[in-house]
Amino acid sequence: MKQLATEGIGVTIRQADPISPEMENALWEGGHLGMKTSIALTNTIFFYNCKLFGLRGLDEHRSLVTEQFKLDKISDKMFITFYGRTSKNFAGGLNQRNLTAKEVKHDCGPDGPRNLFHVYQTYIDMVGPGSMYRRPLAGIEEQLVMSRTGHRSTAVRNYKRPSQEQLSAVSMALNPPKLGSEENECAAEFEANNSKLPKLMVDPMRTPMINITNCNVHIFDAGNK
């Protein structure tokens, strides 16, 4: 250890620098935080989950779900309450039965364009119940993913999560057949949609003809040339 200290190894403590209010304001002004884009909205949720509720560990963010957040309006005040589960300092079990999970209630202050109540409300309404952090599917077939990652089994399917729209489509396909009136409504809607498509114009007076070298072949329809 003395030799390493002499060489300057381990002398300087590496730690993350705190973000000052000026830097935080610059992130808002630069569009990195806010609700103008989906990326900025996700960055805002992640940043303030760390700042307001002390989420530090990777597992805390990975296991985070939207049901752990409760949004309340009391008179003219707005609050965000976070209900923690297992964390870096609280793993649960018999050895920590005398401890309680984290519960933090944040006062969002007066209403305004940067009010976090509206930020969290917008984000949670968009992603719905379940995992807190989402990323849209790239639409790549699993065969191409397996060729890139080297998977030889179907274990790559474990990384895919069906969306609510996909689950609803499966449910609708498995439902009992519709009643006659419902089928007529669907047929009417189908005809209405098809009526908007351009129609092919066919001239009934024109005789179909195929030209072959040195001869003409005429096609007769019901005895008419």
pLDDT on residue 200: 46
Q: Which two tokens stand for residue 15?
A: 């730690």
What pTM did the predictor assign?
0.57
Helical axes 38-53 vs 116-127, angle rounded to 10°: 120
Identify the top-confidence range among 46-50, 56-60, 140-144. 46-50
pLDDT tens digits, 61-86: 888 999 999 999 988 899 999 998 76
CA distances to 7, 11, 17, 50, 191 from 14, rounded to whole Å, are 17, 9, 9, 19, 69
Quick one: which of 112, 126, 132 has its CA closest to 55? Answer: 132
Q: Which residue has the higher pLDDT, 206 or 62?
A: 62
What lies within 8 Å, CB to CB, of 200 at 6+ separation is none
* pLDDT value for 134: 80
